[in-house]
Chain A
Amino acid sequence: MSVVSESKKDSASSTAPTGAAKTRPGALAESGSPLVRPPAAAHLTDEQVAELGRELDAIRDEILAKRGASDAAYIRRMIKIQRGLEISGRAALLVSKNKAAWVTGTTLLSFAKILENMELGHNILHGQWDWMRDPDIHSTTWEWDFVTPSRAWQHTHNDLHHRWTNVVGKDNDVGYNLLRMDESQPWQPHNLGNPLYNAILSPLFEWGIAIYDLELAEYQAGKKSKEALVKDLKALGRKVVTQFTKDYAATPAVAMLTGSGKQALYGTLTANAVRNVWAHAVIFCGHFPEGTDTFTEEMVEGETRGDWYVRQMIGSANISGSKFMHLMTGNLSHQIEHHLFPDLPSNRYAEVAPRVREICQRYGLKYTTGPLLKQVGSSWAKVFKLALPGKAARA
């Protein structure tokens, strides 16, 4: 065993109590304020922001202390329900020559796919259930029913989007390199196609995300190696083959035994499209509706934990609605709470929401929320407005 003696100087500097010497990229400052505080939070002092941070930390600690057997039972119940829907949906599609069976099968499979992606996949891949230490429900082992491989998505989503939420130039989720979604993104003629691109993206959302996760722009800019890209392409290729085979070859092939092959194919195609349209709508409600802010790189330079919390709150938007709606969005309808506490179990967001809202009110910060149709309309409005050059009207 070789022994590497550590440089004492480095270890001393990296543990300086005031955080002054924290040089690694991405680490939060211990105190102080960002170069520029976002306009919506400009009225807050450093001390107020620090206090807000402590209040939110306390909420997080409280949930962590409560988290236990009932939460574990919740996610296991969801997994059972999802798998039940999945096999019954697929079973019905096997005899989908019968119209009622087709409608039943397609509906069940659509619900199964939505649950699988949102309440299970998205949240498990965030590590929300890692605390159970169950390798069957773990962010490092879970693979989802979505063409982009889990690992690729975890990088662009967990590491980049959640760390740099809405920072133009750092968080590529602001338009997914496809749409102009912020006025600070310079207008180019192809942006005229914004609404068209978005309309095409919606039913093909999983493919859009799969391409996005390859980080082709990073590769072109020389920030991603060819080896890394080839590795990602291979992983995606394997996933595409298995996903395609399951939905568009194996399921119809078995259904052919009852003469339902074609109907089963239409069923799986429809279920995937329904899931894509729904996921696209929910995701677009997260950060694009009127009222959500975007940020510049100066606003994150020197950011403390409190400022990071502030940015998550004023950069995200919730969807109001029924319990069922919350479940179908994978609790991403609690986008603000999710962005504050991305690794708390999703079943706890509803519980912390009123307290987060109260904190926003007390500190004079906005808490953007609205019913699904209003939020979808609002984000589509932005897609249209920003297709044209110039500044979008701000409320």
Chain B
Amino acid sequence: MIRLRQLAQAASVLTTPLAPEDILALFNPVFSARQLRGVVTRVVQETAQSATIFFRPGRGWHSHLAGQWARIGVELDGVRHWRSYSLSAPAGKDPAITVTDVGAVSGTLVRTTKPGDVLFLAPPQGDFVLPEHPRPLLMVTAGSGITPVMSMIRTLVPRRPDADVVLVHSARTPGDSLFREELAELADQFPNFRLAHWYTGEQGRMDLTNTAELDEICPDWKERAAYACGPDSFLDDAEALWKQASLTAGAPGTDVALAGDPGNLMIERFNTTFAGGVGHDGGLVTFEASDREVDADGDTPLLDVGEDAGVLMPSGCRMGICHSCLTPLLAGQVRDLRTNEIHGEPGQLIQTCVSAAAGPVNLEL
């Protein structure tokens, strides 16, 4: 490995200002001096709406823990878009994401990805992982929320005879239910894994506002370390339920609990936790590195807002042509003062001189 790096360094004398990887990329797309990439090796259709995409990552990737997610960059009409997807493969195996078509990016991934395609990647991360010490587990999932939990089940159930896992999974219909066959096989094969399906098409939404239904499916649910993943409203209900239960039961476990969160329950949300509204009204602009917050209206360029607050803003032409003011957007959305287009994704570079806040905005500066 060290020899490889020295070789690359020697070669860069001949390739500067490019890196040797930039030249190697002519022959293998995984090479890049700047960004981690992966090549798609296999695509498996899971349901009508979802597919699992296996990929071989380039150097810079590290193997994932069961339950973690990774940022995946996809190009839509020439423009790079980043989304976070949970890794569904078991820990220690080649990474794979299971994507359900819910929008432009996921739809493109599900419908058009084929082996040989290049994905842009960021290494796996996330705290929604299995407990360090074995203990009885309850997984409560809805829809594509099963993806990180599937990685946990695949990692734990076949390898640990002492595991004790109950999965309650809610989906609209059996046909929509991800990993249905594999889960059924696992439940058949391993007595330490119990599976309960909930089909909202037949049974209506699983009621998590009181404990009745959960008590019936899994009577000892309060004693288990619980993991929940699914849509926001589903998780809000679960959170409230566990909070209520821990209040009445007197806060049982603490080892898996998040600070201030309801006892035994661990939650994974799909949406970014940054606050970011959309509107023409402006909003609170936060300059993260400078540690400043300013209330901005929806018509003042963020460049002016920053300068008024004493932030060292890069700037150039102040009319949107020179791109000297590009600043990474961490959260929220901005309005292009020229077109009134509202745009913005975490990590995107924005031109502060022609962009105004459209709701709360976090900038990296």
B338's nearest neighbour on chain A, judged by CB, is: A57
In the bound complex, what is the Cα–Cα distance between A86 and B69 (angstroms)? 39
In the bound complex, what is the Cα–Cα distance between A73 and B77 (angstroms)? 10
Q: Which residues of chain A are within 8 angstroms of B16 by Cβ–Cβ distance?
A: 242-243, 245-246
- Is the Cβ of A69 less than 8 Å from the Cβ of B78? yes
B348's nearest neighbour on chain A, judged by CB, is: A133
User: How many B residues touch the partner, as a band?
Assistant: 35 or more
Q: Which residues of chain B are within 8 angstroms of A90 by Cβ–Cβ distance?
A: 14
Given A144-B17, A159-B317, verify A2-B324 contact (CB < 8 Å): no
In the bound complex, what is the Cα–Cα distance between A136 and B80 (angstroms)? 12
A145 sits at the interface (CB 8 A): yes
A227 sits at the interface (CB 8 A): no
Q: Which residues of chain A are within 8 angstroms of B300 by Cβ–Cβ distance?
A: 11, 14-15
B78's nearest neighbour on chain A, judged by CB, is: A72
B173 sits at the interface (CB 8 A): no
Q: B7 CB to closest chain A CB, in angstroms?
A: 14
Q: Which residues of chain B are within 8 angstroms of A163 by Cβ–Cβ distance?
A: 316-317, 319, 321-322
In the bound complex, what is the Cα–Cα distance between A70 and B296 (angstroms)? 38
- Is the Cβ of B78 less than 8 Å from the Cβ of A1? no
Q: A190 CB to closest chain B CB, in angstroms?
A: 32
Q: Which residues of chain B are within 8 angstroms of A80 by Cβ–Cβ distance?
A: 26
- Is the Cβ of B35 less than 8 Å from the Cβ of A83? no
Which interface residue of B294, B310, B316 has the most chain A CB atoms within 10 A? B316
Which interface residue of A6, A10, A67, A73 has the most chain B CB atoms within 10 A? A6
Contact of A27 among B23, B319, B326 (CB under 8 A): B319
B318 sits at the interface (CB 8 A): yes
Q: B318 CB to closest chain A CB, in angstroms?
A: 5
Q: Which residues of chain B are within 8 angstroms of A130 by Cβ–Cβ distance?
A: 323, 326, 349
Q: A353 CB to closest chain B CB, in angstroms?
A: 18
A189 sits at the interface (CB 8 A): no
In the bound complex, what is the Cα–Cα distance between A133 and B277 (angstroms)? 22
- Is the Cβ of A72 less than 8 Å from the Cβ of B323? no
- Is the Cβ of A136 less than 8 Å from the Cβ of B77? no
B308 sits at the interface (CB 8 A): yes
- Is the Cβ of B26 less than 8 Å from the Cβ of A83? yes
- Is the Cβ of A145 less than 8 Å from the Cβ of B321? no
Q: Which residues of chain B are within 8 angstroms of A379 by Cβ–Cβ distance?
A: none
Given A1-B291, A84-B26, A136-B34, verify A145-B80 contact (CB < 8 Å): no
A41 sits at the interface (CB 8 A): no
B22 sits at the interface (CB 8 A): yes
A250 sits at the interface (CB 8 A): yes
Given A2-B291, A242-B16, verify A162-B322 contact (CB < 8 Å): yes
- Is the Cβ of B316 less than 8 Å from the Cβ of A135? no
- Is the Cβ of A246 less than 8 Å from the Cβ of B318? no
- Is the Cβ of B80 less than 8 Å from the Cβ of A6? no
Contact of B323 among A1, A24, A57, A158 (CB under 8 A): A158
In the bound complex, what is the Cα–Cα distance between A24 and B80 (angstroms)? 34
Given A83-B23, A143-B17, A159-B316, verify A132-B322 contact (CB < 8 Å): no
A140's nearest neighbour on chain B, judged by CB, is: B326
In the bound complex, what is the Cα–Cα distance between A37 and B322 (angstroms)? 24
Q: Which residues of chain A are within 8 angstroms of B318 by Cβ–Cβ distance?
A: 24, 26-27
Given A159-B316, A343-B321, verify A250-B349 contact (CB < 8 Å): no
B293 sits at the interface (CB 8 A): yes
Q: Which residues of chain A are within 8 angstroms of B338 by Cβ–Cβ distance?
A: 57
In the bound complex, what is the Cα–Cα distance between A2 and B291 (angstroms)? 6
Q: Which residues of chain A are within 8 angstroms of B299 by Cβ–Cβ distance?
A: 15
Q: Which residues of chain B are within 8 angstroms of A72 by Cβ–Cβ distance?
A: 75, 78-79
Q: Which residues of chain A are within 8 angstroms of B22 by Cβ–Cβ distance?
A: 83, 136
- Is the Cβ of B324 less than 8 Å from the Cβ of A155? yes
Interface residues of B in 63-90 (CB under 8 A from A): 75, 77-81
- Is the Cβ of A139 less than 8 Å from the Cβ of B323? yes
B13 sits at the interface (CB 8 A): yes
Q: Which residues of chain B are within 8 angstroms of A139 by Cβ–Cβ distance?
A: 323, 326
Per-residue CB contact flags for chain A residues 67-93 toward chain B (1 = under 8 Å, else 0) read 111111100000010011001001000
A254 sits at the interface (CB 8 A): yes
In the bound complex, what is the Cα–Cα distance between A11 and B299 (angstroms)? 9
- Is the Cβ of B32 less than 8 Å from the Cβ of A136? yes
Q: Which residues of chain A are within 8 angstroms of B339 by Cβ–Cβ distance?
A: 61, 64
A334 sits at the interface (CB 8 A): no
Known pairs A26-B319, A163-B316, A343-B323 / 6 extra A-B pairs, C-beta < 8 Å: A127-B323, A158-B317, A158-B321, A159-B316, A162-B321, A245-B13
Shortest beta-carbon contacts, A-B, top 6: A127-B323, A72-B78, A158-B322, A143-B17, A68-B77, A133-B80
